[in-house]
Structure 1
Amino acid sequence: MQLEPSSGRSARYQIQGVDVLSIAEQFGLPLYVYDANKIIEKIGDLRSAFSGVNLRIKYAAKALTNVSILKLMRQQGVEMDSVSINEARMGMLAGFAPEQIMFTPSGVSFDEVREAIELGVQLNVDSLSLLEWVGQNYGGSVPVSIRINPHISEGGNLKISTGHADSKFGISVEQRADIRRIVEQYAIHIVGLHVHTGSDFKNASAFLDGAAVLFNMATDYTDLRFIDFGSGFKVAYKEGDHVTDIADLGQKVSTAFQAFCERYGRNLELWFEPGKFLVSESGHLLVQTNIVKENPTRTFAAVDSGLNHLIRPMMYDSWHDIRNVSNPEGDEKPYTVVGYICETDTFATDRPLPEVRPGDVLSFENAGAYGFSMASTYNARFRPAEVLVYDGAPYLIRQRDTFEDLMRGQVDVPVLNTEEIAQ
């Protein structure tokens, strides 16, 4: 979001030249707004960093699953990574060919895996039991990749660290012989190796450590098409945050990958599955201040949103910059910004902000990833609408929930339709 001069007030927030307050007025609050240009910019950054290799970008759709976002990714030549059959179906609805969709389930039923195979998506096997099931049911007729747990403990919050020895994700690198035994027993066709050790890596070392594991295991298979390094690029949530140096990462990982391909005897594809990296900075959650509550110990700014719309601060202790869109030049004061949910749903504690008044519009920044996609209707609250700003114009890409949406699927049991009160 850009801060640009404007007549009528000293400064205003705009996305692609569109006044944010006008977007709020047009579509109502609370509201998720995404900047398509920022997504396209991040795609370009990744491509530039890996320009020397045969790169495929697979957008991790769980970060933001709106079908219009998926269509934007496809328009930009990005493919898709899914973790559920419904994500895969949404991808196909958005126009992705089945072979462009990676499916990496974790502990799902075999029925769901069978459905994915029937759709024709690329199956990424996460466990020895699933690998054996594939062999027993399909032999070598279904090309699969294998997700390896490299026993690497890197990244940020433990809840998003997935490559350590105690993680539920992937097949342990120490079970290499078991993998090979099952593959040989059923003549399973292995076309790729995959690793995803978590999120928020600050430098290339974690990727290089994971790469070394996969490069070593690749010698077990002669018909690989790709090596998939997952993702985990760190983005900045506040000023001074250390971020992943994508250019440095691209140079170091590309060099290691090219050397591996030379040893392997042919050029393979290098896959990445970024989610947060592509969409986080594009997203802004706009909310309205309901009340400003002065307590003896602190001042609360209560807004028309909560953990039902943005759970990351409560779930991960994550930081989101907050901007007072309505009063950017106000005198700065500390506010504890809280939601309207009947739980502790604190977005920020004692955060210095330009004076916040009832009715002021605030913007939670870096809200594109794991914002709406983790939203709920807790407390019977509506989920927000979503808007995409594309080519300088805002487009509604999801309607706000209605009461009918809350009641959809609920069944009125006739025997309970009585005025009698149990004594």
Structure 2
Amino acid sequence: MQLSDQNQYTIQGIAPAQLVEQFGSPLYVYDGQTIRRKAAALQKAFSGVNMKIKFACKSNTNLAVLRLMREIGVELDVVSPGELEMGKLAGYQANQITFTPSGVPFYEVKEAVEAGAIVNVDSLPLLEWFGQTFGNTKPCLIRIKPNVAAGGHAKIMTAHADSKFGISVLLLDQILEIVKKYDIKIIGLHQHTGSDIKDAEPFLKVADILFETAKHFPDLEIVDLGGGFKVSYMPGDAITDMELLGNKITARFKKFCSEYGRELQLWFEPGKFLVSESGNLLVTTTVVKEDPARNFVHVDSGLNHLIRPMMYGSYHHILNTSNPTGEEKPYNVVGYICETDTFASDRHLPEVRQGDILAFLNAGAYGFTMSSNYNARFRPAEVLVDNGEARLVRRRETLEDLLLTQQGL
């Protein structure tokens, strides 16, 4: 994604107007080169240790994106049987997939284990059941809750004391008791602090907690520090300094491995970090409403396609790709859903006219995967641009798709 000398926004040289003309509006577009670049940055930051990337595919489950991840050596972290099957359809072997459930029915865990995936056990009842069911015949990881609060929004903090995720580190004695009782084969410890963490300090704090906890488990092969790296949402936005973080975590991890007595694998599970910046939601302006209190730009999309601004108050930079040099004016950019679905308030944009194509940036993560058919609206098509070629990787929905599972028609 880039701006030309004329401020014309393109995706690998392809203009949004060309993509909308070919594939329709609204439209999700992913830039494959951005995904490759982000993965390479993470690999470089941790080149000093035996590191593995597990893509948190809840952020984007398009099969074309999953196949691209497999192509560049990134494995998968899934949270449901559906995501597990999508990973297998994308060409992953089951042993390349980690299943990280959150209070799911135990039969889902059984299916994942029997399929060959590695499970992150997230509760004492599940650990007890795992021991009763598999003894020491199947390996697993344990998800530890380190009781550290960090993240860009309360809804995306997952390691604090009140979070539903993982087993509190304060319950270590009970964990060890169950592991010993059933001789459970614990090959790794896992934690995930949250999302949009800018500073290195929270990562270092939870790493130290996990390294200390790991000393109680003699047969570990893996320490999994999750993800949550901050991405850039607006020009000049501060992001996680991956080189600094890589150097600090690497030093601590090497020291831990030396004390532990052997080299372990270090895993990370980024989702947003790998795909957010690759994504654009292209929309078309339907109405420009000049109101005494506010100017409104209505577009052919809404919270049914991108719920993050309404759910998290998230910021998505917006470009008027049809009139990039127009005089700037303040607008509220709003959707077409019969709810208050405001994408941006008092946003200064080059003059927006009916028919102009707007690009919502940083829409590659938790955009389509959190979309819905609210108001009986269709979900958009998805396009992957890679090596300068735009390819349809999900068609636009139709009324037949909405009616497919209804009975008695």
Normalised TM-score (structure 1): 0.96
State the Cα deviation string for residues 36-82 of structure 1 (Å, max 9, x = none): 00000000100110010001000000000101100000000000000
CA RMSD, Structure 1 to Structure 2 (Å):
0.8
> How do residues 100-119 of structure 1 correspond to structure 2 at under 5 angstroms?
100-119=96-115
What's the secondary structure of 2:25's corresponding residue? Answer: coil
Structure 1: where are the runs of 5+ without partners?
414-423
Distance 2:7 2:208 in 1: 50
> How do residues 398-417 of structure 1 correspond to structure 2 at under 5 angstroms?
398-412=394-408
> How do residues 26-175 of structure 1 correspond to structure 2 at under 5 angstroms?
26-175=22-171
Distance 2:65 2:329 in 1: 37
> How do residues 301-320 of structure 1 correspond to structure 2 at under 5 angstroms?
301-320=297-316
Aligned partner of 1:361 in structure 2 is 357
Structure 2: where are the runs of 5+ without partners?
none
Q: After TM superposition, give the deviation of residue 171 of structure 1 in Å.
A: 0.1
Question: Does the CA contact (< 8 Å) of 2:225 and 2:267 recur in 1?
Answer: yes
What's the secondary structure of 1:107's corresponding residue? Answer: coil
Aligned partner of 1:420 in structure 2 is none
Distance 2:102 2:161 in 1: 16
> How do residues 238-317 of structure 1 correspond to structure 2 at under 5 angstroms?
238-317=234-313
Aligned partner of 2:174 in structure 1 is 178
Distance 1:363 1:215 in 2: 43
Q: After TM superposition, give the deviation of residue 371 of structure 1 in Å.
A: 0.4
State the Cα deviation string for residues 175-206 of structure 1 (Å, max 9, x = none): 00000000000000000000101111112111
What's the secondary structure of 1:155's corresponding residue? Answer: coil
Distance 1:161 1:11 in 2: 37
Instruction: State the AA in 2 paired with 1:244.
Output: T
Q: Does 1:206 align with 2:198?
A: no
Distance 2:213 2:313 in 1: 36
Q: Does 1:326 align with 2:322?
A: yes
Distance 1:206 1:338 in 2: 36
Instruction: State the AA in 2 paired with 1:39.
Output: I
Distance 2:13 2:336 in 1: 31
Question: Does the CA contact (< 8 Å) of 2:222 and 2:264 recur in 1?
Answer: yes
State the Cα deviation string for residues 387-416 of structure 1 (Å, max 9, x = none): 000110000000000010010101127xxx
Aligned partner of 1:2 in structure 2 is 2
Q: After TM superposition, give the deviation of residue 221 of structure 1 in Å.
A: 1.2
Instruction: State the AA in 2 paired with 1:215.
Output: F
Normalised TM-score (structure 2): 0.99
Aligned partner of 2:13 in structure 1 is 17
What's the secondary structure of 1:220's corresponding residue? Answer: coil
State the Cα deviation string for residues 76-132 of structure 1 (Å, max 9, x = none): 000000011110111011111111101000010011111111111011000000000
State the Cα deviation string for residues 288-327 of structure 1 (Å, max 9, x = none): 0000001110100000000000000000000000000111
Q: After TM superposition, give the deviation of residue 11 of structure 1 in Å.
A: 4.0
Q: After TM superposition, give the deviation of residue 240 of structure 1 in Å.
A: 3.0
Q: After TM superposition, give the deviation of residue 239 of structure 1 in Å.
A: 2.1
What's the secondary structure of 1:18's corresponding residue? Answer: coil
Q: After TM superposition, give the deviation of residue 357 of structure 1 in Å.
A: 0.3
Aligned partner of 1:350 in structure 2 is 346
Q: Does 1:226 align with 2:202?
A: no
Instruction: State the AA in 1 paired with 2:21.
Output: E
Instruction: State the AA in 2 paired with 1:76.
Output: I
Q: After TM superposition, give the deviation of residue 283 of structure 1 in Å.
A: 0.2
Distance 1:290 1:17 in 2: 26
Q: After TM superposition, give the deviation of residue 213 of structure 1 in Å.
A: 1.1
Question: Does the CA contact (< 8 Å) of 2:190 and 2:223 recur in 1?
Answer: yes
Distance 2:212 2:102 in 1: 24
What's the secondary structure of 2:348's corresponding residue? Answer: strand
Distance 1:197 1:298 in 2: 39
Corresponding residue pairs, total:
409
Instruction: State the AA in 2 paired with 1:248.
Output: L
Instruction: State the AA in 2 paired with 1:229.
Output: L
What's the secondary structure of 1:290's corresponding residue? Answer: strand
Question: Does the CA contact (< 8 Å) of 2:122 and 2:143 recur in 1?
Answer: yes
Q: Does 1:189 align with 2:185?
A: yes
Distance 2:257 2:338 in 1: 55
Question: Does the CA contact (< 8 Å) of 2:16 and 2:357 recur in 1?
Answer: no
Identity, % of aligned positions:
59
Distance 2:215 2:316 in 1: 44
What's the secondary structure of 1:239's corresponding residue? Answer: coil
Instruction: State the AA in 2 paired with 1:2.
Output: Q
